[in-house]
Amino acid sequence: MKIALYIKELTLGYLEYNNNYYFTADESNIQVAFKKYPIDMMLFSLNKAQTKEYKYVPQNFLQYLEATAREDLRLKADIKDEDSEFVKLYKLAGLKICPENFGIRQA
């Protein structure tokens, strides 16, 4: 299971979970995005290394994690209490979501 992080038409990388969170960056798309969408990309802070490990949910996914608590979205995405944090996020990413600065979708 992978969750893609994107801005407009560009995928910036993929989030996976295996005890810790791993974000694999798409370096070339990130470079394009910095040129094409400089203001929005000011808020992007994951491009330090091609693969980055996180103990907690990375910042760009945080608002979406908070949204997994919302009743209407839980119902639409079939999110259950017993789902892990990552599975909740993955299920949410399966919905058609209007993106904030950065969008998520199932990959």
Partner 1 sequence: MINIEKNDAGLYVIGNEFFSAEENTRGTRDKFWLVPGQESSYPRMLFKCNRSEKTCENWGEIIASAIASRVNVPCVTYVGASVLENGEVKTGVICESYKNNSEISELSGYSLVSAVANHIYDNSIDMFYTGELNTVDGFINCINQYAKFMECEIDANEIEQCRNDLIKQALFDFILLQADRHWLNTTFLLAKSDSKISITKSKCYDNGCICFLKRKLEGVQGISTQIKAEIRKRKQSDSLKYQLEKYIPFFGIKTTLVKFDSKTYSHNSMIPRIVSCGDPEAKEMFLEELTHEILNNPEIAHFYLGLKQKLNYSKETKTLDLSDIFQSLQTPQDIIPEGVEYLVNQIMNYQVNTIDELIKVKRAKIVQQKEIEDEEQRSV
Query: What's the min distance (Å) between Cβ of 68 and partner 1?
Result: 9
d(CA 104, CA 15): 10
**Strands 51-54 and 103-106, sheet pairing:** unpaired
* Nearer CB in complex with partner 1: 71/81: 71
Q: Does 35 bind partner 1 (CB under 8 A)?
A: no
Residues 6+ apart with CB under 8 A from 30: 12, 13, 41, 44, 47
Q: Does 43 bind partner 1 (CB under 8 A)?
A: yes
Query: What's the min distance (Å) between Cβ of 87 and partner 1?
Result: 17
Site for partner 1 in 10-29 (CB under 8 A): none
